[in-house]
Amino acid sequence: MKRLSVFLAATGILLCFAAGAIAQKPAETKKPSIMSKMKGKAMQMVHGNVVGNKNTKVYHLPGDKGALPDAKNRVYFKTAKEAEAAGYHRAGAKPVPVKKGPARDPKTGKFIKSPPK
């Protein structure tokens, strides 16, 4: 009877150590490969460093603070001048207001003549 209790106690201790070793094993983290690092740099070189948002027509320069647009909404430009030529404005800058045409009378819809100067 004494041998059986010693055996059970020893087995219990071994099981506790084994379970603890399994539970505390760190999760394996996969390091990014060299090819994935090269792909990121190559994509940046192909697209350019200026990132634009095709929905809001705003572009971001490298180093700008703030969130970049989602990947599905991104448009890439090589320079800021290229982005501005495409109708985009810089992030944080207010867009140039659109010039309005002549005023109309709300009841008739006809143009209101401006008074002579």
Which ranges in the chain belong to alpha helices (H)? 2-23, 34-47, 80-85
Please indicate, yes or no, whether the overall pTM of this predicted structure exceeds 0.85: no
**Domain spans in the chain, listed from the N-terminal domain onward:** 42-93
Contacts for 41-49: CB closer than 8 Å, 24+ residues apart: 47/76, 48/76, 48/77, 48/78, 48/79, 48/82, 49/78
pLDDT of res. 64 = 85
Per the DSSP assignment, residues forming a β-bridge with 51 are 60, 76
pLDDT of res. 23 = 56
pLDDT of res. 92 = 84
Distance between CA atoms of residues 27 and 43, nearest Å: 31
- Could you read off the pLDDT tens digit of each residue along the chain, which spans 117 residues? 667 666 666 676 766 666 665 556 566 666 766 655 555 554 545 568 899 999 999 999 988 888 889 999 999 999 999 999 999 999 887 766 777 777 888 888 888 877 666
Distance between CA atoms of residues 56 and 67, nearest Å: 13
